[in-house]
Amino acid sequence: MKKVSVIGSLFIMMIFILVSCGGDGSKNQKSNKPTVKNSNKKEVAKKEEVKEITSKGEDKNAIPTPPEHLAKARSIIAEVSKNDVEGVDAKKKFKNLCAICHGMKGNMEINGAKDLTKSKVSLEEAVAQIYHGKGLMTPFKGILTDAEIVAVSKYVEEFRN
């Protein structure tokens, strides 16, 4: 009978050890939780970063066209010949180079492109922006001739009607 009780108590000891191991296991799980929280923190940080970039982008939009860009635009407009501008197939140029972001009707706003149907920019500002680029819009200096830039600037004004 004594042997049985010894074996019984050994059994109980074993169960205790097992249970305490299980306890450790749960502790491990607990210690895992902060790492999950950390990755959440990282995600939050990432989101904040993205927010910052977007708000920076918006700030950029608010920045007016630099005066030297406007001065360059004025000289482009003054120097192009009316014939050269009228000879440009502006619709085709727009379709090939601008529609990927602005859409065929100017109102697509892909890649943060501005809705050209609601645009209020002057011809000068449009020429400056197309020549030098702005924000996410790539510059077209060297891609379009001066006459083509003026023609396409006039063409996009038609979207407003």
Residue numbers at the binding site for ligand HEC (CB under 6 A)? 60-61, 94, 97-98, 100-102, 111-114, 116, 119, 121, 126, 129-130, 134-138, 140, 152, 156
Q: Which is nearer to ligand HEC, 43 or 89 (CB)?
A: 89
Task: Give the closest residue to 115 by CA, choosing from 127, 133, 102, 126.
Answer: 102
Q: Minimum CB separation from ligand HEC for residue 101, in Å?
A: 3
Give whichever of 72 and 102 is closer to ligand HEC, judged by the CB atom. 102
Do residues 136 and 57 make contact, with C-beta atoms less than 8 angstroms apart? yes
Closest distance between ligand HEC and the C-beta of residue 67, in Å? 16
Contacts of 44 by beta carbon, 8 Å cutoff, 6+ apart: none
Q: Which long-range contacts (CB under 8 A, 24 or more apart) does 12-20 make?
A: none
Q: What are phi and psi of 12, to 5 degrees?
A: -60, -40
Neighbours of 141 (CB within 10 A): 14
* Shortest reach from residue 29's CB to ligand HEC, in Å: 48
Q: Which residue is nearest to ligand HEC (CB)?
A: 135
When the beta carbons of 9 and 138 are compared against ligand HEC, the nearer one is: 138
Q: Please say which residue, 24 or 158, places its beta carbon nearer to ligand HEC.
A: 158
